Amino acid sequence: MHILDLNILGAADPSWTVPVVCVASLTLFFFVLLGLFKLARLITLGTDSLGIQSLKKAYQGITILQTPAAGECVITFRTYTGLLVIGAHQTHHLALTTADALVLLKRLHCFNLKYGWFYPGGLFIPLVSCLCYFSQTRKIRSKVAASLQDASHKGL
């Protein structure tokens, strides 16, 4: 007669269980520590730990246009902030001069690198922000190059 064996892993622990448990424990510890750090920042700094004041500072010195004219561009960029479980993203869709657009994109990208870590899924925010930043700057630079090329053709 066979007695029910309650040892799920077998007679000896497989070699893969110890590293998996260690990595899972360290990952959990990291996120708990990150959450406690963010909570401490929220308590000590108030709402600026969510980046509200920093996002307002990003717009200082930037002139937002109502409608884009020739030589001006439209950008779309998302910023992310949150507290691990609760997150908020804001889409910035603006018409700007090319110089202001490049400055604002850099500031918004830096905002994401600073505050996006605490958005749910925050480990991916720097990657998403970098891809969007490089995509938008490439679009702006190609538009500037095209307008310079058109101006040189008109001068001929």
Query: What is the Cα–Cα distance from 56 to 53, expressed in whole angstroms?
Result: 5
Our measurement of the distance from residue 80's CA atom to the centroid of its chain's CA atoms, rounded to an integer in Å, reads 6
DSSP state of 5: P
Q: Please determine, for residue 110, whether its predicted confidence score (pLDDT) is greater than 70.
A: yes
Tokens 């830096």, residue located: 110
Per-domain boundaries in the chain: 48-155
Q: Which amino acid is at 154?
A: K
Predicted model pTM = 0.67
- Between the alpha carbon of residue 123 and those of residues 31, 84, 112, 116, the distances in Å are 11, 11, 11, 8
pLDDT value of position 155: 63
pLDDT value of position 152: 75
Query: What is the Cα–Cα distance from 36 to 81, expressed in whole angstroms?
Result: 16
Using one digit for the tens of pLDDT, what is the confidence trace for 65-97? 988 887 789 999 999 988 767 788 899 999 999
